[in-house]
Amino acid sequence: MEDQEILTVIQGLVAEENWVRGQLDKGELEPDDAAARLREIGSRLDEMWSALRKARALRSAGVDPSTIDLRSAVAS
Exposure string of 49-64, with b = 16+ CB inside 10 Å and e = fewer, is ebbbebbeebeeeeee
The amino acid that residue 30 corresponds to is E
The rounded distance, in Å, linking the Cα atoms of 2 and 75 is 18
pTM of the model: 0.83
pLDDT, tens digit (0-9, with 9 covering 90-100), for 27-42: 999 999 999 999 999 9
Give pLDDT, residue 75: 47
Q: What is the DSSP string of 58-70?
A: HHHTT--GGGS-H
Give pLDDT, residue 76: 43
The rounded distance, in Å, linking the Cα atoms of 18 and 57 is 29
